[in-house]
Structure 1
Amino acid sequence: MINLILCGGNGTRLWPLSKENMPKQFIKIFNNQSLFQITAKRNHELCDSRLIVSNEKQYLLAKDQLLDLNIENNQFLVESIARNTAAAITLACLSVDPEELLLVTPSDHFIKDIKSYKESIIKGKKLAEEGFIVTFGIKPTYPETGFGYIESEYNFNIKAFHEKPDLLTAKNYILSEHFYWNSGMFLFKAKVLLGEIKKHSKDIYEECVYTYNNKTVNNNTIKFNFDDMINIRNSSIDYEVMEKSSIIKLVPTGDELGWSDLGSFDSLSNYLSLTKTDCDNLVLINSENNYIHTTNHKLVAMIDIDDLIVIDTKDSLLIVRKGSSQKVKDIIDKLKTNKSHLL
């Protein structure tokens, strides 16, 4: 089994800590390890090798961080332009033996209970060996509006995929026993996924085959040309295959898994327990429940301040009320409009 690690994405919801030249999956804030490194280690015992999909900048970061871990048997697929998960996963499937099992994992997720995680993967592996495409659902613990949801039915078949809901809808979801967070993790045989993408999204399949045939290979690195990749339709594997295929199975996980995509500073502070300590030089007076993260050693003093998130980097300062950190994307939109160099 191969661990296909998807490194795409710039982690903009964790701006300014995460930026284009150093996205969140490569920031070493977990006991001096990155989420990417933790992902590789988590699946090292389960998988014989790794297949890392990234862009040109992230490829070098990923390569260096795997060297730091002394983890071998790695292959890199370098995309010249992002074309979402349908293209990334299809190109990966084309690059391995058709009978090979692929465990697809994002590079930037946090999982607390490794034992429970491995048990779920083993269950999924059995189903994948039988020819199913397996997706892993996380039992929701609160009404999250930043995740997609999977609705299950009997025998863990999938009834429907649901886009990110509003708060009222999310509250209704968690009252049901049939709704799970969409983890973005999958397990399948390469030939099975290729058969389904060809069946449901023939244009993406054909453009990926053309792109793959024009690849450039250098040792353990495959690079795809911009002029080829630009013609691949930009779409997600959820939309192109998971929502349409009749051979999808759900493997649910319990809330003990402790899963999060760490897609906001609220979730980051919860999982790292950094509400007061992630700052070398801090003075608090009548101030509680604040998350303070600094990348320097300046003194931070707070008086009569509660429930704030403060992110201080070399060139940017973010201050946001707890519970509102998902709105960082609005800041990103403004910076993009202004063509800021601080992204």
Structure 2
Amino acid sequence: MINVVLCGGNGTRLWPLSRASYPKQFTKITSNYSLFQKTIQRNQSHCDKTLVVSNEDHYFLALDHMREINVTVEKFILEPIGRNTAPAIALACLSIDENELVLITPSDHIVKNEIEYSKCVLRAKSLAQKGDLVTFGITPHYPETGYGYIEANGNDVISFKEKPDKSTAETYLSRGNYYWNSGMFMFKAGVFLSELKLHAADIYNSSVKAFEESHQHHETIRINREFMELIPSNSIDYAVMENSYNVKMVPSDIGWSDLGSFEALYEELPKDEHLNTISDKHVGLNSYGNLILSESRTIATVNINDLIIVDTSDALLIAKKGTSQKVKEIVEKM
């Protein structure tokens, strides 16, 4: 089995911690290892090889992080521009044998229960070997509105749901058969390509052309920008998973987070007795429940509750907790 690590995102919802030049998968936010490194380490025991699909601008950054943990990549596929997950996975699958099992993992997720994760990978493997497209559904523990949901009956997928409002998410949680859509998948390379060709022929055909016109040198495959631009941008969910009759889901209670917001990051960081994130740069008076991160300057707070304060060398973010999904809009505005 090959671990295909999707490493093309810019993590704009965690700006200014995450930048286009240094996105969140390479930041060491929660430990001494980057999220990218922890993803690779987590799957080393399950996969024989690692294949990284990355923005070409992050190639040397990814190489440095691989060398730090002494892991060799089987292949790098370098995209000049991002076209979402369906083309990225298609290019990866085109580069390997059609019978090869692939474990698709984003590079910026957290998995805290690795023992349970290993069990879920083995369950997914038994389904994928039979020719199924397998997705990992995360057991929800609260009514999150920032994730898509999967309605399931055991391993059988009933439907995929868009990000819900609060009341809909609460209904999903109460029913007990709805799961967060993790963005992790497992299947045979050839099975995915066949389903992509069936349900999104435009993406399949343009991805094949882009791969055929790519520049390959040793372990590195560089996609030509001219042909990459011709590939329609779409996610694997919209292009394949929501249309295929060949989909299974593995329920996964694995301590998962995609760190897709500062609220999610707040949940992962250690806190003091006032529920502020612990920082030697913070001095607080009557301040509670704050996420406070500073690269260098001291941050003093007085009578401040439930704020996000992120201070870097060239930018300062202040936001109310519960609104940080709008950080992406700030980045677009800038």
| TM-score computed with the length of structure 2 as normaliser | 0.96
What secondary structure does 2:185 align onto?
Answer: strand
Match of 1:244? 243
Match of 1:208, as an amino acid?
A: S
What secondary structure does 1:233 align onto?
Answer: coil
Among 267, 285, 289, the residue aligned to 1:270: 267
CA contact (8 A) 2:277 2:290 kept: no
What secondary structure does 2:264 align onto?
Answer: helix
1:278: Cα distance to partner? Answer: 4.5
Whole-Å separation in 1 of the counterparts to 2:300 and 2:256 = 33
Match of 2:193? 194
Whole-Å separation in 2 of the counterparts to 1:59 and 1:119 = 32
CA contact (8 A) 2:207 2:231 kept: yes
Match of 1:71? 71
Match of 2:44, as an amino acid?
A: H
Provide Cα deviations, 1:258-295, integer angstroms capped at 9, x if missing partner. 11111111110111225545433322111121111011
Matched, 1:312 2:305: no
Whole-Å separation in 2 of the counterparts to 1:30 and 1:262 = 10
Structure 2: runs of 5 or more not aligned: none
Match of 1:62? 62
Provide Cα deviations, 1:121-161, integer angstroms capped at 9, x if missing partner. 000001101111100000111111110111113x4211111
Whole-Å separation in 2 of the counterparts to 1:74 and 1:131 = 24
Match of 2:217? 218
Match of 2:144, as an amino acid?
A: E
Whole-Å separation in 2 of the counterparts to 1:162 and 1:333 = 26
Provide Cα deviations, 1:25-74, integer angstroms capped at 9, x if missing partner. 11112322110001000001111111100111122211110011001243
Whole-Å separation in 2 of the counterparts to 1:243 and 1:145 = 19
Provide Cα deviations, 1:204-255, integer angstroms capped at 9, x if missing partner. 111111111111011111000011111111111111110111111010012x
Match of 2:165, as an amino acid?
A: D
What secondary structure does 1:125 align onto?
Answer: helix
1:101: Cα distance to partner? Answer: 0.4
Match of 2:122, as an amino acid?
A: I
Whole-Å separation in 1 of the counterparts to 2:299 and 2:158 = 50
Whole-Å separation in 1 of the counterparts to 2:234 and 2:16 = 27
Whole-Å separation in 2 of the counterparts to 1:80 and 1:59 = 11
What secondary structure does 1:165 align onto?
Answer: coil
Provide Cα deviations, 1:272-330, integer angstroms capped at 9, x if missing partner. 2255454333221111211110111x222111111111100011111111222222123
CA contact (8 A) 1:127 1:134 kept: yes
Match of 1:261? 258
Root mean square deviation of aligned Cα: 1.2
Match of 1:130? 130
Match of 1:185? 184
Match of 2:330? 331
Match of 2:101? 101
Whole-Å separation in 1 of the counterparts to 2:327 and 2:281 = 26
Match of 1:239, as an amino acid?
A: Y
Whole-Å separation in 2 of the counterparts to 1:179 and 1:65 = 36
Whole-Å separation in 1 of the counterparts to 2:326 and 2:45 = 38
What secondary structure does 2:211 align onto?
Answer: helix
Match of 2:270, as an amino acid?
A: S
Structure 1 window deviating more from structure 2 (324-333 vs 93-102): it is 324-333
Match of 1:175? 174
Match of 2:206? 207
Structure 1 window deviating more from structure 2 (276-285 vs 242-251): it is 276-285
CA contact (8 A) 1:93 1:190 kept: yes
Whole-Å separation in 2 of the counterparts to 1:201 and 1:325 = 34
Structure 1: runs of 5 or more not aligned: 336-343
CA contact (8 A) 2:30 2:268 kept: no
Whole-Å separation in 2 of the counterparts to 1:57 and 1:32 = 23
CA contact (8 A) 1:75 1:221 kept: yes
Match of 1:90? 90
CA contact (8 A) 1:278 1:294 kept: no
Match of 1:280? 280
Whole-Å separation in 1 of the counterparts to 2:225 and 2:31 = 37
Whole-Å separation in 1 of the counterparts to 2:281 and 2:210 = 52
Provide Cα deviations, 1:79-128, integer angstroms capped at 9, x if missing partner. 11111111001110000011100000000001110000010000000110
Structure 1 window deviating more from structure 2 (316-325 vs 34-43): it is 316-325
Match of 2:160? 161
Match of 1:183, as an amino acid?
A: S
What secondary structure does 2:143 align onto?
Answer: coil
Match of 2:21? 21
What secondary structure does 2:47 align onto?
Answer: coil
Whole-Å separation in 2 of the counterparts to 1:166 and 1:182 = 16
User: Which 4+ residue blocks in structure 1 deviate beyond 4 angstroms?
Assistant: none
Structure 1 window deviating more from structure 2 (184-193 vs 155-164): it is 155-164
Match of 2:110? 110
Whole-Å separation in 1 of the counterparts to 2:55 and 2:321 = 33
Match of 1:126, as an amino acid?
A: S
CA contact (8 A) 1:133 1:186 kept: yes
Match of 2:193, as an amino acid?
A: L
